[in-house]
Each structure stands twice: as structure tokens, then as C-alpha cells.
């Protein structure tokens, strides 16, 4: 790979914030291994890799599509003006083609999993792509983002089990509220800009104080769901350890932002604490299915 190709590859990785896959992918893995734990299905490397591929393709499609639709807003926002499209590193047309290719490959990949996942794949795409327009019209935009990522555990469970179950649905609700809550906190960085642009983020409409209260309320429900899932599964001390660390990091996120509401503080809480929380929770949860 020459320097030009390497730079372009890095630009596309940055375009889709590939490192942020760490938020939803661990919950997809929980969903997959939970299906093996709760049903008679056995591990197959083919389905496992297909689940991961679906996650990556759907997220690539959603993130690149979002960057295309938001390119004019991003250009006017000092915080996002250096992103790949407004900075001229990637042409909007190329980003759109990249998004559509990933979307088509996502649907094609689900064909090789099972019919249920294939039939549901267009709905999943509608949610993750549709999010890009919601901030212009409704303060529920944070919840649409949460809904998109919440499809990870239930989608992976359906891929492995081919049937519904209450626990992965609860995990999806957990992810839905967790993501919506931390996205509301992240949106406080753009409160003034969103007001100027008449964008409908919760901080812009209700103010940062109410936004933080709403986020904290959502995360209180997340704490309840983390504990409730553990009670239902009754998988022992490993899940309890993972749950305790996840909850502790969730609380730490709010404390960090309360003490330092700077871009650096919010970014630390958003990217690092949530990423670590997701990974740790997945490791201990999956381990609890076997030990």
C-alpha cells in the first residue's frame, strides 16, 4: 500500500470513527454468546464472523451517511470543521458511495445468516440512516441514535438463535438508554452552536442543566436494567463484577462532566469511560456464561 492509499484508508477510518465501534460491538458479542447460553445452538466461526461483519458494515453505512448529510453544518461548526468532508479530504460523493456500498453489503451479508435477520435488515438500515435527519426536527434525535445502537445485542442474538427472548430485548433497552444518555451529554459541547443553527438537540432546546438531569435519569434506569439482567440470568459473581464496574464507570462519567464541563472532559467521559465500560461489561458477562 503506497502513502496515498494509506492516507485515504486512514481518512475513511476517521470518517466513520472506527474506534467508536467499541461502544456497540461488545454488546453484539454479549448478544451472540447469550444466544448460545440460552439455546441449544453451538458456536460456529462462520456466523460469529458474519455478525461482526454486519456490525461493521451497518456502522460504516450510518456514519458515512451522517457525515454526508451533516457536511454543511460540520463546516460551520468550529469543533467539526476539520472533519474529512468539510476539510476536503474526502469528496461528499465518494462518502455517499461508500455508505451505499456498505449498506448493500450489510443486507447481502444477512442473507448468509438466517431469513429472520435478512427480513429485518432494511428496518435496521432505515433506523441507522434515518438518524442523520432527526436533529433538524426533534429533540428525540438522541433516542434515535440510541435505537440504532440498541439493535446490536438483539441482532446478534437473532443471528445465532433465530428466535426472540426477553433478556436480549432488555439488553437492547439498556443500550438504547445508555447511548441516548451519553449522547445528550456529548451534545452539551454544541449547545450554543445548535441554538444558532436551530438544531433540536436537548441541550439546545432545554439547556445543559436539564440535559444533564435527563441523562442522569436515563442512566439510573440503565443501572436498574444491568442489575435486573443479572438477576434473571443468575450467572454468578463474574457478571456481578462486570455490572459493578460498568455502573461505577457510568457514575464516574457524570462526575467528570460535573467537575469539568470542558471539551476535553466531555470527550474523556464519552470516548474513554464508555468504551472501557462496554468492553469490561462484555468480558465479564460472556465469561459468566461459561464459568
Domain boundaries, the chain: 3-288
Does the structure show a pLDDT above 60 at 263?
yes
pLDDT at 245: 97
What stretches of the chain adopt beta strand conformation (E)?
none
Q: How far is CA 64 from the centre of its chain?
A: 14
If 0-12 CB within 10 Å is exposed, 13-18 middle and 19+ buried, where does residue 20 land? middle
Q: What average pLDDT score do residues 53-76 get?
A: 94
Per the CB < 8 A criterion, the answer to whether 262 and 10 are in contact is: no
Q: What average pLDDT score do residues 108-136 get?
A: 95
> What is the distance between the alpha carbons of residues 30 and 166, in angstroms, rounded to a whole number?
14
Q: Of 216, 217, 221, 200, which is closest to residue 257 (Cα–Cα)?
A: 216
pLDDT at 119: 96
> What is the distance between the alpha carbons of residues 68 and 83, in angstroms, rounded to a whole number?
11
Helix, coil or strand: residue 198? coil
User: What percent of the chain lies above the pLDDT cut of 70?
Assistant: 96
pLDDT category, 205, cuts 50, 70, 90?
Answer: very high
> What is the distance between the alpha carbons of residues 60 and 58, in angstroms, rounded to a whole number?
6
User: What DSSP character marks residue 162?
Assistant: S
Q: What angle do CA 121, 124, 127 make, to 5 degrees?
A: 150
pLDDT at 202: 96
User: What percent of the chain lies above the pLDDT cut of 90?
Assistant: 81
pLDDT at 5: 62
If 0-12 CB within 10 Å is exposed, 13-18 middle and 19+ buried, where does residue 231 land? exposed
DSSP string, 42-85: ---HHHHHHHHHHHHHHHHHHHHHHHHHTHHHHHH-TTTTTSTT
User: Which of 12-21, 46-55, 207-216 shows the lowest per-residue confidence on average (mean pLDDT)?
Assistant: 12-21
Give φ, ψ of 97 to 5 degrees.
Answer: -60, -45
pLDDT category, 4, cuts 50, 70, 90?
Answer: low
Is domain 3-288 given the CATH code 1.10.357.140 in the classification?
A: yes
pLDDT category, 10, cuts 50, 70, 90?
Answer: confident
If 0-12 CB within 10 Å is exposed, 13-18 middle and 19+ buried, where does residue 278 land? buried
User: Which of 15-24, 54-63, 93-102, 238-247 shows the lowest per-residue confidence on average (mean pLDDT)?
Assistant: 15-24
Does the structure show a pLDDT above 70 at 82?
yes
pLDDT at 8: 75
Q: Of 182, 134, 176, 132, which is closest to residue 154 (Cα–Cα)?
A: 176
pLDDT at 1: 54
Q: What average pLDDT score do residues 175-197 get?
A: 93
pTM of the model: 0.93
Per the CB < 8 A criterion, the answer to whether 42 and 48 are in contact is: no
pLDDT at 175: 97
pLDDT at 203: 95
pLDDT at 206: 95
Q: What average pLDDT score do residues 147-160 get?
A: 95
Does the structure show a pLDDT above 60 at 2?
no
Amino acid at each position: 500500500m503506497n502513502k496515498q492509499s494509506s492516507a485515504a484508508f486512514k481518512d475513511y477510518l476517521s470518517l466513520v470513527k472506527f474506534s467508536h465501534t467499541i461502544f456497540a460491538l461488545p454488546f453484539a458479542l454479549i448478544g451472540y454468546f447469550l444466544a448460545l447460553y440460552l439455546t441449544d445452538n453451538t458456536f460456529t466461526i462462520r456466523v460469529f464472523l458474519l455478525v461482526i461483519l454486519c456490525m461493521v458494515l451497518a456502522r460504516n453505512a450510518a456514519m458515512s451517511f451522517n457525515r454526508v448529510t451533516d457536511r454543511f453544518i460540520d463546516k460551520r461548526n468550529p469543533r467539526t470543521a476539520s472533519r474529512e468532508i468539510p476539510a476536503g479530504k474526502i469528496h461528499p460523493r465518494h462518502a455517499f458511495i461508500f455508505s451505499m456500498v456498505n449498506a448493500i453489503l450489510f443486507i447481502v451479508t444477512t442473507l448468509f445468516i438466517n431469513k429472520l435477520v435478512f427480513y429485518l435488515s432494511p428496518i435496521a438500515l432505515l433506523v441507522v440512516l434515518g438518524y442523520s435527519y432527526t436533529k433538524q426536527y426533534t429533540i428525540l434525535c438522541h433516542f434515535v441514535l440510541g435505537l440504532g445502537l440498541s439493535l446490536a445485542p438483539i441482532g446478534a442474538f437473532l443471528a445465532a438463535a433465530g428466535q426472540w427472548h426477553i433478556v436480549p430485548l432488555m439488553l437492547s433497552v439498556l443500550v438504547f438508554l445508555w447511548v441516548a444518555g451519553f449522547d445528550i451529554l456529548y451534545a452539551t459541547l454544541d449547545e450554543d452552536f445548535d441554538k444558532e443553527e436551530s438544531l433540536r438537540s436537548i441541550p439546545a432546546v432545554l439547556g445543559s442543566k436539564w440535559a444533564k438531569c435527563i441523562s442522569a435519569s436515563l442512566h439510573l434506569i440503565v443501572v436498574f436494567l444491568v442489575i435486573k439482567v443479572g438477576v434473571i440470568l443468575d450467572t454468578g459473581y463474574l457478571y456481578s463484577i462486570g455490572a459493578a464496574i460498568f455502573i461505577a464507570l457510568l457514575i464516574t462519567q457524570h462526575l467528570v462532566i460535573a467537575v469539568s464541563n470542558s471539551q476535553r472532559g466531555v470527550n474523556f467521559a464519552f470516548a474513554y469511560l464508555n468504551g472501557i465500560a462496554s468492553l469490561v461489561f462484555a468480558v465479564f458477562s460472556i465469561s459468566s456464561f461459561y464459568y
